Structure 1
Amino acid sequence: MSENTTNTSSSSVSRSRWRLWEDRAEADEVTPKHPHRPFPGWLYAILFIVFDAVAVAALEVGVSTSSTRVQLSSPDVGFNFVTKLWSEGNAVVLLNVLLVGLLYLMLLMLFNRFWTASAVIVGVAIFVAAIEHFKIEIRYEAILPADLNFLGSNTGNMLTFIPAGAHVTILIALGVFAALLALILVLRHLDGRKGRMIRSGNIGLNLGTRLVLILLPILAFSLYCMQVSTTDSWANKFSHAMGDKPSMWDSVYDAQRNGPLVAFTRQLHPKVMNKPDNYSEETMKQVAARYKKAAAKINASRANDLNDSTVVYVLSESFSDPSRVPGLKVNKDSMPNIRKIKESTTSGLMLSSGYGGGTANLEYMGLTGLSMANFDSSLTSPYQQLVPSEHWTPTVNQLWGAPANSLGYHPYESSMYSRATNYKKFGFSHFYTLTGPDVIKYQDKIDESPYVSDKSTYDSALEGIKSGKTSKFIQIITMQNHMPYHEWYENNDFTAESTTGTPLEEDEKESIETYQKGASITDEATQEFLDELDKLDKPVTVVFYGDHLPGIYSSASQDDDNSLALHLTDYFIWSNKASGTQGNKTGGSAYSSPNFFVAQAADHMNAKVSPYLAFLTEMHAKVAAMEPPVVNKIQGWDRIPEGQSIYLDHAGNPMSEDDFDEATKQLLADYKLIQYDITAGKNYLKDTDFMTLP
């Protein structure tokens, strides 16, 4: 007998045995051993949707049942996650069902058993929901992509998500899963088919079909995850069309509002920025060498060391000058002290990327020296989309050495913008907030205001500034003037009126007048804070800036010609007597943006710089301020607006990239190389002395 004949005969026997096995299996479905008839296909389809919905519900319950106070209350959370489908036409719940369904289908084909896949998808959803619940209880933060590291070398850190008394939640979760598993087992018993999906007598066709039906949902889910964070991609448009409304300032609210899976996937693969064509290790070495020479030239004429002084950054919530708002007349000055301070020190106007929001982006730029103008429009919140997954996060405070020398103060919830996690990554030893784990000491409020006063925040920070003999970096983020603005203050004699001929609406008028009073209280508290610093016998320099205007000027914001005016806040750099640089006024300070503050502070302090600070010094000499395009509305989190970034010269006039001279074009190209290397590249600069002070 020939070899071919033998192979053919063996193949025929195999197919015959497979058909015999199939025939017996089908016969078993109707024999007394298996008296139940197989479920019809349409019933499987209904049950697929039911278990899919159960998994989505479990995930939503996980982020919505924490006893921790929701920071930004909204009817979008809780039960409305489902009801808004018919009340508002918002189909984000269906988007979550679709995404979970893709994973469910993949499991279905992997196991080729409906009931096994159903038990797994429901079990995993309940497990993840429990972890979400625990993490929110402890940190008020939803599960982020960076938490996937726990599945590797940091698995033990999963225990940090388990709070005291967790056994009750665990027992409830186990009870719910046991009940659902019992239901699944009963249905399996009633199903004569036992949930087997692909039953072809052809082994090759069976495996091939399953493989295709495994790969297709994996491909669809993967493509969605890769594209959903990229502005104008098909996944991004589809997600928004289904009702996804990114809420990047608060990961828990985002998960509650849009579903945990949707909120999670948008942070998996954000487009950070385009890779420069000439990016390479050799190019970055050249950049580092170029600004090492620039630093040496600058340092030749400077006498002080930057980190021999304590430097305090004060991000004053929504602080700005109401008298500069177009079409608005105020009855008196709400910032006389700060106006006087600005006249006697380095100061000017800061170009803000936000209006009524976006605080953390200005904060990020101030701490890193990087610019939002260089990022892709898809990257709307570095604190949420970028920092958690970064391997290298050089920040200003690290110039002061050990984490013990970096302290942060913010009289609000520590989880906003994932600050607690990010500040630890930045190298802060303590970040004092209302919710801890480091609790801010002074928490007084003014009259009916719901926010901690600036005076209390300053008093808390003063204790940190005074403690110990070493110099420190202090980060202060105030909350007193955060929106909304109602009639909070007693004896408020501030008034505002329109000069356009159209009177202000009552709500706008009330908000502006309340805000004016709050700004005047900030003005007085800031002067008192500086007076206290002036009494110290150790050098201290303060960088004070308003992050954005409050989003209350609805009349002025209707005119796009007012955009620049509505994105300029006040800033100053001040030093105490002990510093020896009090009263310094550096050139080119009339306009700035927060990415340049550290370089300006070094200039003001006559302090030596690193190659990085030398670069920022040269960049600021050519471009006074830079931000991405702006809009006259409270910042959303879908995207940074399209268009050319805003560049201002030192007279505050807009500049076009096309009109830059060659030196400016080179600096801007180098900026993009530096920023790409730090945030999205291979961190070639990390192995150089680019960030090192002399």
Structure 2
Amino acid sequence: MDNQEHEVEITEKSKRKPFPGWLYGVLFVLFDAIGVGILEWGVTATSRVKLSSPTIGWGFVSKMWTDLNFVAVLNLLLCGIVYLILLMISNRFWVATPIYLALAIIIAVVEHFKITIRYEAVIPSDLSFLKSDAGNLMSFMPSGAQWIILGAVAGFLVLLGLCLYLNRIDARHGRMFRAADHRTGLANAAARILLVIIPAGFFGMYAMQAGTVGSWANTLSVAMGDQSSMWDSVYDAQRNGPVVSFLRQLNPKVMEKPEGYSEATMKQVAKRYAKAAESINAKRSANLNDSTVVYVLSESFSDPSRVPGLKVNKDSMPNIRKIKENTTSGYMLSSGYGGGTANLEYMGLTGMSMANFDSSLSSPYQQLVPGQHWTPTINQLWGAPKNSIGVHPYESSMYSRAINYKKFGFSHFYTLTGPDIISHQDKLGSSPYVSDEAAYKSTLEELKKTKSNQFIQLITMQNHMPYHDWYPNNEFTAQSTTGTALGKTEQESIQTYQKGAAITDQETEKFLKQLDKIDKPITVVFYGDHLPGIYSTASEDSNNSLALHLTDYFIWSNKASSSQGNKAENSAYTSPNFFMAQTAEHMNAKVSPFIAFLTQMHQKISAMEPPVVNQIQGWQRIPEGQSLYLDASGKPMAASDFDKKTQRLVDDYKLIQYDITTGRNYLKSLGFMDLPKQ
């Protein structure tokens, strides 16, 4: 370099000025917002995501002034903490910024890929996947992934170029702390350490407590506008931001540790109910897995004629009413009203009760199951996964079912979105949902594929809300008996629902008649998961709570079964956690120690659920108060009035459930879930 060029460079440097502190503050907020925007893009910019919702896309920001919802600010705060930590560690604004943006881009691309393939946002259990199966990451790349990656790289290079340019014109070169002497250097180092430790501590404490109702972190989230939508992880991430959505699920409080929980205690529990199983099995001759069992969760199926203050012109369920008269049947206490399907499904498959969980655990399918090490379910009693089939004519990603059913040991889960595609997808009228007739056809095909005994779980969709005059020539009408007429929307919804329930009634009878023609023993457990959330008039009266949480159920066996026409004792009321015990009793089948426990529990408490409310189930928390317990006649029981045996069963239930869900799994090696050897 000659002297003239050197002089020009010195002149240019002398013209550059260090950026003032306020400008760094503005740029920090700007780049922080860019990072949050990139993350939000990751959960919205796919062909499977509809951007018309006011809560996502630009609405994620605009709802600050339309709804006074500041969850976007909460995401800015949390991402800003990560950005600040990087800044303090590097002490270079123009080094920390591209690193922060690179992290945001990488996470957004991963979110985009996962949503494209599975329609599911990144959840905490994916971190364990990175440890155990990182080598197979390439197999999860969607078609056209290379263009997304190239676009992401190009976008990062543009942002990197901007940072390099700003670094060039900034005479300070982004240095945050500069020391003129040794003493100042030590002070700056201490300040930087504090600015790493304090924000990191805040972030860590928030992450550990954000999923616990009543904690400062959860209270902060709710105050800022976090409205958890646990039924759909993608919508939840769109609505509340992927950072808030992810951290809320990172460390949910599952249960309080029961008093006396230990390995010795669990051995005593296992021994106690192994003895109970021996006593029960001495009186029974059949084996549970010598028959095929079909669980039918009929979406929102219930009896409109039992809704308080409602008069209907016609019975929507005459066939099921007749079926119930000749087999094990009654009313099922539901934890939900207008929602909460997966919780009822979870209880039916596992025998666990939502009444035992902490109020923070509002959705086991999202918050608990993906991270569980041991997930015993009733279908596993049929042995190899090939004998367990799931059928659901809707998206496999809802409630993270695709992940959970694989974990439960189902070999196939047939849905609209695959990877196993359901064979029949017909709809009725203008309804957007697959009909029950089509769902039953798909189930029958699975039953006829093999002569082996199976466990099949069917979750229908026909009667899912909302209800908008779907069916032509609807002959059903409803009116209020309270003196206040039904609103137009409520009346349309009820009458549409009545017709749908009547169609379910007819198709269920046809399904059972077809099962009677199959030459292998089949038992069906049929139940409505909850009432539809359309009875706004009835729901205004808190005295209607119990009536609005009772659905119909029955356990029925076909002609090839020795248990056809059986009626189990104490069947007038139940809750889904008791289904496996009732099924075994109906079939006169031998039981495991766990099913023996549930059998004894059901004899003392007919039904149990968390406190119920007359509103469509929210997902922020389980309601407060004493759990709802019903006796054999359907009357509420006070926990303070339990006799000694009942209280011991309740205490043992908590020990069992804690050990299986969040404890040390002592019962796993004690044969607690094993049926007696044949």
Q: Do structure 1's residue 290 and structure 2's residue 272 form an aligned pair? A: yes
RMSD over aligned CA atoms reads 1.3
Q: Which residue of 1 aligns with 2:31?
A: 51
Alignment match, 1:15: none
Give the whole-Å Cα distance in 1 for the aligned partners of 2:191 and 2:408.
49
What is aligned with 2:311?
329
Give the structure 2 partner of residue 470 of structure 1.
452
TM-score, L = length of structure 1: 0.94
Q: Shift of residue 34 of structure 1?
A: 6.5
- Contact preservation (8 Å) 2:328, 2:566: yes
- How far apart are residue 208 of structure 1 and its match? 2.2
SS of residue in 1 equivalent to 2:65: helix
Specify the alignment match of 1:158 in structure 2. Answer: 137
Shift of 1:150: 3.3
CA distances 1:133-170 after superposition (whole Å, capped 9, x unpaired): 11000000000001112332321232243111111111
Contact 1:149–1:155, Cα closer than 8 Å, also in 2: no
> Which one of 390, 393, 401 corresponds to residue 419 of structure 1?
401
Which residue of the other structure, out of 278, 301, 323, is the alignment partner of 1:341?
323
CA contact (8 A) 1:334 1:519 kept: yes
Q: Given that residues 351 and 627 in structure 1 are in contact (C-alpha distance below 8 angstroms), is that contact kept between their aligned partners in structure 2?
A: yes
| 1:33 CA displacement | 5.6
Determine if contact 2:300/2:531 at 8 Å carries over to the other structure.
yes
Match of 1:580 among 555, 562, 568: 562
Report the equivalent of 2:526: 544
Letter matched to residue 312 of structure 1: V
Q: Which amino acid aligns with 2:187?
A: L
CA distance in 1, matches of 2:135, 2:170: 41
1:462-501 matches, cutoff 5 A: 462-501=444-483
The 3-state SS of whatever aligns with 2:125 is helix
- Which residue number corresponds to residue 553 of structure 2? 571
Give the drift of 1:59. 0.2
2:432 aligned residue (450, 471, 478): 450
1:626 matched residue in structure 2: 608
CA distance in 2, matches of 1:341, 1:429: 31
Are the counterparts in 2 of residues 481 and 518 from structure 1 also a CA contact under 8 Å?
Answer: yes
Q: Which residue of 2 aligns with 1:522?
A: 504
Deviation per CA, 1:416-455: give whole Å up to 9, x if none. Answer: 0010111111110000000101000000111111110001
Measure, in 1, the Cα distance between the counterparts of 2:486 and 2:300.
21
**376-385 or 186-195: bigger deviation:** 186-195
CA shift at 1:73, angstroms? Answer: 6.4
Indicate the residue corresponding to 2:341 in structure 1.
359
Q: Indicate which of 166, 185, 188 corresponds to 2:167.
A: 188
Deviation at 1:199, TM superposition (A): 2.1
The amino acid that maps onto 1:162 is M
Structure 1 residues 264-273 or 82-91, which shifts more? 82-91
1:39 corresponds to: 19
What is the deviation of 1:541?
Answer: 0.3
**1:175 corresponding residue in structure 2:** 154
Please, what TM-score do these two structures have when normalized by structure 2?
Answer: 0.97
> 1:190 Cα deviation (Å)?
1.1
**Secondary structure at 2:447 match in 1:** helix
**Equivalent of 2:356, from 374, 379, 383?**
374
Preserved CA contact (<8 Å) 1:150 1:157: no
Count of matched residue pairs: 665
Sequence identity, in percent?
67
Q: Residue type of the partner of 1:684?
A: Y
- Stretches (4+) displaced over 4 A: 29-35
For residues 293-304 of structure 1, the aligned pairs below 5 Å read 293-304=275-286
Retained in 1: the 8 A contact 2:13–2:171?
no
Query: Quick one: structure 1 residues 607 and 44, their matched pair in 2 at CA, closer, same or farther if it must change by over 3 Å?
Result: same
Could you say what secondary structure the match of 2:142 adopts?
coil
Residue matched to 1:12: none
1:105 to 84, 87, 90: 84
- 1:387 paired with 2:387, answer no
In structure 1, the residue matched to 2:389 is 407
SS in 1 for 2:128: helix
Query: Shift in Å at residue 292 of structure 1?
Result: 0.3
Deviations 1:276-323 (A, max 9, x none): 120111111111111000000000000011011000000000000000
Shift of 1:210: 1.7
Paired position in structure 2 for 1:21 = none
Match of 2:141, as an amino acid? Answer: I
- Does structure 2 conserve the Cα–Cα contact (< 8 Å) formed by 1:30 and 1:36? no
Find the aligned partners of 1:388 and 1:186 in 2 and give their Cα distance.
Answer: 45
Q: State how far apart, in whole Å, the 2-side matches of 1:152 and 1:689 are.
A: 30
Tell me the distance in 1 between the aligned counterparts of 2:204 and 2:59. Answer: 28
Cα 1:296/1:185, change in 2 over 3 Å? same
Structure 2 vs 1, CA of residues 34 and 470 (structure 1 numbering), >3 Å: closer, same or farther?
A: farther
1:688 CA displacement? 1.2
Determine the C-alpha separation between the residues in 1 that align with 2:474 and 2:235: 34
3-state SS of 1:571 partner = strand
Give the conservation status (yes or no) of the 8 Å contact 2:71–2:226.
Answer: yes
Per the alignment, in what secondary structure is the counterpart of residue 458 of structure 2? strand
Partner of 2:378: 396
Judge conservation of contact 2:300–2:464 (CA < 8 Å) in 1.
yes
Structure 2 counterpart SS, 1:458: helix
1:617-636 alpha-carbon deviations (Å, 9 max, x no partner): 00000000000011101001
Find the counterpart in structure 2 of residue 507 from structure 1: 489
Matched ranges for 1:248-259 at <5 A: 248-259=230-241
Q: Does residue 440 in structure 1 map to residue 419 in structure 2? A: no
1:468-491 C-alpha deviation (Å, 9 max, x unpaired) = 121100000000000011111111
* 1:576–1:582 Cα contact (<8 Å) kept: yes
**Gapped regions of structure 2 (runs ≥ 5):** 1-8
Shift of 1:31: 8.3
Letter in 2 for 1:558: E
Q: 1:56 to 1:548 in 2, by over 3 A?
A: same
Map of 1:8 onto structure 2: none
The structure 2 residue matched to 1:65, chosen from 37, 42, 45, is: 45
SS in 2 for 1:555: helix
Secondary structure class of the residue paired with 2:297: strand
The alpha-carbon deviation at position 115 of structure 1 amounts to 1.1
Q: 2:649 aligns with which of 658, 667, 690?
A: 667
Task: Give 3-state SS (helix, strand or coil) of 2:632's partner.
Answer: coil
Equivalent position amino acid for 1:96 in 2: N
* Partners of 2:126 and 2:521 in 1: CA distance: 40
Give, in whole Å, the separation in 2 of the partners of 1:555 and 1:630.
17
